A and B are shown apart, each in its own frame.
Chain A
């Protein structure tokens, strides 16, 4: 069964460093998302991406964050200058399209980011 994959599974970085989290969405999906989950808390939406542009972003997704689809398969989240409070599990998700059976967002296994 097709699945969303994410790399790396864990990343440790120093405060102020740039990190890039990578995702390979399900191949026929058109909508891509990033969410994050601070340890022990709920899952929060960061950004959605469609047709090579951001379609929606949350107040968390400030100028330090960016997303890109550099080729036909990868979808990346970049944090330019990490802060301690960026430590979290980051989930990538994809959906075929809004509406009907294709509405469901399928999540990857997550990247656990630790900023020291």
Chain B
């Protein structure tokens, strides 16, 4: 399977700091999808964003922004002015279009935002 790498295992910041979570993916495909999911301490997986490989436009949603760069196979996630409620494990995932339906997840980055 083509891997997703989240090199940061754990990150700890103080509230109001900005933080960037890195995601690097392997792909031999022309068309694929990338995702970010959030897993708060309660355990559920919450969908945050999906990106198609043909759409390199970066996206901002409130305090969240995503930087997709095909040239470096990266899809990084930035939280601006972090809050304690942002504390969670964040997973990056990929899926190939038209091929396997499965999501391939990275190992996740545990973010702790301290007051």
> Which A residues lie at the B interface, using CB under 8 A?
31, 33, 35, 41-45, 48, 55-56, 58, 89, 91, 93, 98-99, 103-110, 112
Which residues of B have CB within 8 Å of A99? 97-98
Residue from the list A35, A42, A56, A110 in contact with B108, Cβ < 8 A? A42
**A6 and chain B: residue at smallest CB distance:** B44
Given contacts A98-B97, A107-B45, A110-B45, contact A42 B103 (CB under 8 A): no
Chain B residues, CB < 8 A from A56: 100-102
- Let me know if B91 and A108 touch, CB within 8 A: no
- Evaluate contact between B105 and A43: CB separation under 8 angstroms: yes
**B: contact size bracket:** 20 to 34
Interface residues of B in 25-66 (CB under 8 A from A): 33, 35, 37, 42-47, 50
CB pair B107 A48 closer than 8 Å: no
In angstroms, Cα B35 to Cα A33, docked, is 16
Residue of B nearest to A98 (CB): B101
**Given pairs A56-B101, A110-B43, 9 additional interface contacts (CB within 8 A):** A35-B103, A42-B106, A42-B107, A48-B101, A98-B101, A103-B95, A107-B47, A110-B45, A112-B43
Q: A107-B47, A109-B44 are in contact. Are A44 and B105 (CB under 8 A)?
A: yes
With both chains docked as a complex, state the minimum distance between the C-beta of B19 and any C-beta of chain A, in angstroms: 20
B50 close to A103 (CB less than 8 A): yes
With A and B bound together, what is the CA distance between A98 and B107 in angstroms? 24
**Chain A contacts for B97, CB-based, 8 A:** 98-99, 103
